Amino acid sequence: MDIVSGGKLAAAVSEAGGLGLLGGGYGDGDWIEREWERAGNARIGCGFITWSLANRPHVLERALARQPAAVMLSFGDPRPFAAAIRNAGARLICQVQTVSQAREAAEAGADVIVAQGTEAGGHGMSEPLFALLPQVIDACPGALVVAAGGIADGRGLAAVLMLGAQGALMGTRFYASQEAVGHPEAKRRIAEAEGGQTVRSIVFDLSRRMRWPAPYTGRLLRNRHAETWLGRESELEARMEEVGREYAAARERGDFDVAGVIAGEGCALIHDIPPAAEIVERISAEAERLIRSHASTFS
Amino acid sequence: MDIVSGGKLAAAVSEAGGLGLLGGGYGDGDWIEREWERAGNARIGCGFITWSLANRPHVLERALARQPAAVMLSFGDPRPFAAAIRNAGARLICQVQTVSQAREAAEAGADVIVAQGTEAGGHGMSEPLFALLPQVIDACPGALVVAAGGIADGRGLAAVLMLGAQGALMGTRFYASQEAVGHPEAKRRIAEAEGGQTVRSIVFDLSRRMRWPAPYTGRLLRNRHAETWLGRESELEARMEEVGREYAAARERGDFDVAGVIAGEGCALIHDIPPAAEIVERISAEAERLIRSHASTFS
C-alpha cells in the first residue's frame, strides 16, 4: 500500500487485533521514522518492495531499530535480508505470486508466506488467488500461509480459511478507511467502483516514469488515462517524459481521471469508508458467523 | 465439457448425489440421444453452447424430449430458449462470466446461475472467481448461485460456500475420472499438471478452424503447439487451413504435444483418475470436515 498505509492506519489495525503494516514501499527512511512516531506504542510491522530495498539496504536498518513485529518483503529475492530481520527479533513475511517463489520464501526461512492473487491492487502477477493459494499450501507443508488479493469482507476471509490459509492480508479494504493517507476522492472512487472496473497493466508505472522489473504489473481503477493508453504501451514508453509531466501534474491537482487510484478487484465489495477498527471487527465477525452457520447445517 | 461428459459420467455423478450434465456442446442430436441411452435411468441434465444452439434449435427439442432434470446454457443469450426449457419441466441453468450477464440470466428466469471464473477450463472470460462470485451474488439477490472455475477438491467447495454459492460446478476434476470420454493420455496429463501449466487464449479455436464470438477464449494445458503460437495469433489465423490440417491429424493420432487438452487451473490440485462417485464423495466429505473443523475453533 506504500504511503497510503501510514502510522495511524497501521496502529488502528494492530489495536483492533490485526497486524498493521507501514507501507515502506520503495524505502524512504525519514518517512518510515515519522510514521512510526505516529503509530505511538502500537505493535506494528513494515513492508518493503524488495528489489528497491536492495538499492538502499540502510533503510532496513532504520526500520529494524524501531523493533517491528514483522517485516514484509514483496517482489524480489528476500534472502539477502532474512538474517538481519530475524536477528532483530522481527518475523519475516514474504509475499509471493507463484508456487516457485513460495518455495524460495520457505527456503529463506519466512515465518509467514503471503500468497497474493492477481486480484490484488497495485503490483502483482497473473495467477488468480483461487488457483494459487491451495497450490502454495500444498507446496510448502507446515508453512503459515496468508492469502491476499480480492479479499474485502468476511466472506473472503472465511473462504481463504477454507482453502487452507491462516489469515488474510488486505490492502484496498483499508485504503477505503478513515485512517488511510489517501485523497478523499480516491477513497470515494474505491467505495463507488463496481465489478470489472480495475485493470492490471504497466500503464501506471510508465506514466509515472517508473520501470518495474518484469513480470510485475500494477492493478488500478480504470480511468480515462488508462483507457487512453491500454494496448498502446510501446507508444507510451516512447513518450514517457511528456506524458509523465502531465501525469505528475494531474496527481498534484488530484485529477483522478488521469492520476491512477491503486485498487484491487475487492473494490466491488467496498461501499463505505469506516474507521479501520470497524473493518477488522466487521470482517472477523462475518467470517465467524458464516462458518458457524454452515457448520450448523450438518446434522 | 463437450463430448468428454458422456452418459456414463453424467449418470455416475447423479447417482453419487450430484447433478450430472451431458456435454451437449455445439449440439449434435444423435450424440445426445445415444449418450442419454448410456445414462440408463439416472436423472441427468444437458449443457449447450448457447450461440451454437441458436443455429440448430431443433437439438434442444430432442434433448427436452428426454425429460432432463436441467438444461444448462453457456455463452450467449438464454432468453430465446428459456420458455421451452421451463415448459418441458426442466430447470434452467445459466452459466455467466460477468455481473451484467448474471443480471440478464436472472431476468431470463434462470433457476440456477453459474458464476464461472477465468480459472475454468475451456471457454470463458477473464474475471477471477474470487472477485466474480460475491459480485454475482450481490447483484442477484435471492438467486441460487453456483460457482465454477478452479474448484477441484473439498477446500474449493467449502470456500465457494463461504463466498455465498450454493454449490460448485466442476469440469476438469471429472475429466480426470474413470467414466469421462477422454483419451487416457489427456487424463494422465491433467493428473500430472502442476500450477501455471494452463493458458487462456484463442490459439486452440483457431487451430481447429473454429471461430468463437469475442470475448470468449479457451483455457487448455500449455503444450508445444500452444508455446509455438501464443502471441502469434494473427499469423495463425492467416495460416489456419494449413495449421488446421496438421492439428486435426495430431488429434487423430492422440499427439497431445500438438492437440490441446482442455483443462482449468484446478488441474494443479488433481493427482489421480478415480471413479466419478469417489470424487463426489471425497469432495463433499472434505468440505464438511473443513467447515466443522473451523467452526470448532470458536469457543
| Grid cell listed for B251 | 488429434
C-alpha B290/C-alpha B283 separation (Å) is 11
Q: Which residues of A touch B217 (CB under 8 A)?
A: none
Residue A159: its chain B contacts at CB < 8 A? 130, 159-160, 162-163
DSSP 8-state assignment for residue B227: H
Cell numbers for A80: 539477502
Q: pLDDT > 90: what percent of chain B?
A: 97
Query: Which residue in B133, B173, B291 has the most chain A C-beta atoms within 10 A of its own C-beta, making it the best mutation to test that interface?
Result: B291
Q: What pLDDT, in 10s, does the model give residues A235-288? A: 999 999 999 999 999 999 999 999 999 999 999 999 999 999 999 999 999 999
How large is the average pLDDT for residues A56-80? 97
pLDDT band at B196 (very low <50, low <70, confident <90, very high): confident
- d(CA B186, CA A127) in angstroms, rounded, equals 23
**Which DSSP letter does residue B2 get?**
G
Q: Residue holding cell 436472472?
A: B106
Nearest to A164 among B139, B155, B194 (CB): B155
A-B contacts (CB, under 8 Å) = 138
| Model pLDDT for residues A218-236, shown as the tens digit of each residue | 999 999 999 999 999 999 9
Nearest-CA distance B33 → chain A (Å): 36
CA–CA separation, B197 vs B189, rounded Å? 10
Q: Pairing relation of β-strands A198-201 and B112-116?
A: unpaired
- pTM beyond 0.90: yes
Measured distance CA(A50)–CA(A32) in Å, rounded? 16
Grid coordinates standing for A84?
A: 538481519
CA distance B186 to chain A (A): 21
Q: Does A135 touch chain B (CB under 8 A)?
A: yes
SS3 assignment, position B38: helix
Cis check for the bond before B184: say yes or no (omega within 30 of 0). Answer: no
Q: How far apart are CA A250 and CA B187, in angstroms?
A: 54
What's the gap in Å between the CA of A244 and the closest CA on chain B? 29
Structure confidence at residue B3 (pLDDT): 87
Mean pLDDT for chain A? 97
What's the pLDDT at A165? 98
Q: What is the pLDDT of residue B297?
A: 94
What is the per-residue pLDDT for B57?
Answer: 92
The number of beta carbons lying within 10 Å of the beta carbon of residue B129 is 32
For residue B112, give the 3-state DSSP assignment: strand
Q: Which of B110, B102, B104, B105 is nearest to B85 (CA)?
A: B110
Residues B69-96: what's their mean pLDDT?
97
pLDDT confidence tier of residue A3, bands split at 50, 70 and 90: confident
The Cα B249–Cα B207 span in angstroms is 11
The helix/strand count (H/E) of chain B reads as: 15, 10
> In this model, does residue B60 exceed pLDDT 80?
yes
Q: Does B214 touch chain A (CB under 8 A)?
A: no
In this predicted structure, the answer to whether residue B299 has a pLDDT above a threshold of 80 is no
Grid cell for residue B179:
467414466
Residues A62-98: b if buried by 16+ CB within 10 A, e if exposed = bbbebebbbbbbbbbbbeebbeebeebebbbbbbbbb
Residue bearing cell 500438438:
B258
Q: Which residue of A129, A194, A288 is in closest CB contact with B130?
A: A129
Q: Judge: A98–B159 Cβ closer than 8 Å, yes or no.
A: no
Nearest CA in chain B to A295: B292
Q: State how far the alpha carbon of B14 is from the alpha carbons of A114, B177, B281, in Å.
A: 38, 14, 12
pLDDT at A299 over 80: no
3-state helix, strand, coil in chain A (%, to 5): 45, 15, 40
Average pLDDT of span A21-25:
95
Among B99, B159, B295, the residue with its CB nearest the CB of A163 is B159
C-alpha distances (whole Å) from B265 to each of A109, A140, B50, B219 are: 28, 19, 24, 8
pLDDT the model gives residue A45: 98
Distance CA B223, CA B114 (A): 29
Look at chain A and count its residues. Answer: 299
Angle, CA of B248, B249 and B254, to the nearest 5°: 100
Per-residue pLDDT at B1 exceeds 90: no
Residues ≥6 apart with Cβ < 8 Å to B238? none
Q: What is the residue type of A48?
A: F
Q: What type of residue sits at position B93?
A: I
Looking at chain A, the whole-number percentage of residues with pLDDT higher than 70 is: 100
Look at residue B2 in the predicted model and tell me its pLDDT: 85
Answer yes or no: are the C-beta atoms of A218 and B149 closer than 8 Å: no
Give residue B195's pLDDT band: very low, low, confident or very high (50, 70, 90): confident
Q: Which residue of B has its CA nearest to A292?
A: B295
Enclosing H/E stretch for A282: helix A276-295
Angstrom distances, CA of residue B229 to CA of A233, B60, B199, B240: 22, 36, 12, 12
Q: Which residue of B has its CA nearest to A160?
A: B159
pLDDT of residue A2: 84
pLDDT in tens, B133-161: 999 999 999 999 999 999 999 999 999 99
Q: Is A38 exposed, middle or buried (CB count within 10 Å of its CB: 0-12, 13-18, 19+)?
A: middle
Residues in CB range of B169: below 8 A, 6 or more apart: B95, B114, B116, B146, B147, B148, B151
A159/B131 touch (CB, cutoff 8 Å), yes or no: no
- Residues of chain A neighbouring B163 (CB-CB closer than 8 A): 155-156, 158-159
pLDDT (mean) for A66-76: 97
- Whether the predicted pLDDT of A169 surpasses 80: yes
The span from the CA of A212 to the CA of A232, in Å, is 18
Residues of B in contact with A288 (CB under 8 A): 298
Terminal CA-CA length for chain B: 44
Measured CA to CA, the distance from residue B72 to residue B113 in angstroms comes to 9
Mean local confidence (pLDDT), B168-191 = 98
Q: Across all residues in chain B, what is the average pLDDT?
A: 97
Which residues between 238 and 297 in chain B have a beta carbon less than 8 angstroms from any beta carbon of chain A?
265-266, 268-269, 287-288, 290-292, 294-296
Q: Which residue's entry shows cell 475420472?
A: B177
pLDDT of residue B223: 97
Residue B201: closest CA among B221, B171, B180, B176: B221
* Smallest CA–CA distance from A287 into chain B, residue: B162
Min CA distance, A121 vs chain B (Å)?
Answer: 12
How far does B88 lie from chain A, in Å, by closest CA? 32
Give the separation between CA A295 and CA B106, rounded to whole angstroms: 29
Q: Which tops the pLDDT comparison, B196 or A251?
A: A251
Helix (H, G, I), strand (E, B), or coil: what is residue B134? Answer: helix
A291 and B295: CB-CB below 8 Å? yes
For residue B53, what is the enclosing H or E element? helix B50-53
Average pLDDT of the segment spanning A35-49 = 97
SS3 call for B132:
helix
Cβ-based neighbour number of residue B237 at 10 Å? 12
**Looking at chain B from residue 7 to 36, which residues have their Cβ under 8 Å from any Cβ of chain A?**
none
Question: Using CA atoms, how far apart are residues A77 and A70, in angstroms rounded to an integer?
Answer: 17
DSSP code of residue A213: P
* Percent of chain B topping pLDDT 70: 100
| Distance (Å, whole) CA A162 – CA B100 | 28
